[in-house]
Amino acid sequence: LLGPSGCGKTTTLRLIAGLEEPTDGEIYIGEKIVNDVLPKDRDIAMVFQNYALYPHMNVYQNISFGLRLRKTSKEVIDKKVKDVAAMLGIENLLLRKPKELSGGQRQRVALARAIVRDPKVYLMDEPLSNLDAKLRVQTRGELIKLHKELGVTTVYVTHDQVEAMTLGERVVVMNKGAIQQVGKPKDVYDHPMNMFVAGFVGTPPMNFIDVILERHDKDIYAIFENLKVKFDEEQTKKIEEKTFKTNEFVLGIRPKDLYDEIDVKSIDKNQVQKLTVVIDFIELMGSETFIHFKFGNSQSIARVSAGRDYSMGEKISLFLYTPGINLFDKETKQAVF
């Protein structure tokens, strides 16, 4: 579940867990409606953002807490705790208290406590948000491996779209309490259903430019100041399939679809359109460079290869890869393509 703070992700998770009551609708876990089932009987395990470890218990006691509540035998508890501790690389921490652990170690203990219960569903509420950047990347990789090993449905809440794109087999984009789009990460990125999804998914975010559509003979063009972009056959067909109230639209351009004079050499000349822009400022990102420029009233970004010697205020040519563009109805904010 991906979306900005306050969009309803955690509320959705709490509804599944039974910690909130739905005002309407039904919640299924598998084939079973669980609206009236108590949280403890829903067979789910939750991993919280703040880990929610018991400070007075050591790691072993924290991991085994749920099993002890179920009156599981000591032998089974011991085997399960040691197995899951080995899986997560925390065997040497079992006798320590939470205050003696680093953030990454606490995270693993919280995961171990969930895994050891062998539930039908894992619910994870921003479990990596308290980790530093390097540890977050490492733990993401471990979660992917863990999910493959366990093969259990996991509902994972995050506001970080990189996390959603790398971890999710399906992504649900939410905003203001409503689902905006559901799909595979690549489909959501390549074919956003509206301007919110287009702007929220992708780093750097999509550029938006207000345009007017004009028809010349059989061709349709997007017009903006000195820019005139011709739509290809497939794009034209999608425009013609729908009826619009006005000819005002928004062109969506991913930063990766703006090439400089060197990168564009690898692209078919018939698929690019030349723009002249003035550089506002530059971000050097190591393996790539982000060029910021103004396009009309819109602040825009191009992502080009590293090692270019550009400077602020310089006038340069950029080349728009036209098959990569998106088009949105300005009034409804919905995607045309």
Q: How far apart are CA 122 and CA 111, in angstroms?
A: 10
Phi–psi pair at 311, nearest 5 degrees: -135, 160
Identify whether the C-beta of residue 115 lies closer than 8 Å to the C-beta of residue 84.
Answer: yes
pLDDT band at 133 (very low <50, low <70, confident <90, very high): confident
How does pLDDT run across 33-50, given as a tens digit for each residue?
Answer: 999 999 999 999 999 888
d(CA 228, CA 218): 15
In this prediction, residue 135 carries a pLDDT of 85
Task: Write down the pLDDT at residue 138.
Answer: 87
Domains in the chain, please, with CATH?
9-199 (3.40.50.300), 204-329 (2.40.50.140)
φ, ψ at 291 (rounded to 5°): -100, 120
Do the beta carbons of residue 203 and residue 162 sit within 8 Å?
yes
Q: How does pLDDT run across 241-260, given as a tens digit for each residue? A: 999 999 999 999 999 999 99
Sequence-separated (6 or more) residues with CB below 8 Å from residue 110: 47, 48, 51, 52, 53, 127
DSSP-derived secondary structure for 110-146:
HHHHHHTT--SEEEEESTTTTS-HHHHHHHHHHHHHH
Q: Which range is most confident: 145-149, 262-266, 332-336?
A: 332-336
CA distance 3 to 197: 9
Is it the case that residue 307 has pLDDT exceeding 90? no
Q: Which two tokens stand for residue 196?
A: 């919110």
Residue in the block written with tokens 């085994």: 64
pLDDT at 297: 79
Question: Which residues pair with residue 252 across a beta bridge?
Answer: 208, 326
What local confidence, expressed as pLDDT, does residue 226 receive?
78
pLDDT per residue as tens digits for the range 62-86 = 999 999 998 999 999 999 999 999 9
Segment among 56-60, 143-147, 295-299 with least mean pLDDT: 295-299
Mean pLDDT, rounded, of the chain: 95
CA torsion, points 303, 309, 313, 316, in degrees to nearest 10?
-60
Average pLDDT in the 199-219 region? 95
The confidence band for 326, taking pLDDT boundaries of 50, 70 and 90, is very high
Question: Token match 């979660």: residue?
Answer: 143
**pLDDT for 49:** 86
Spacing of C-alpha 304 from chain mean position: 23
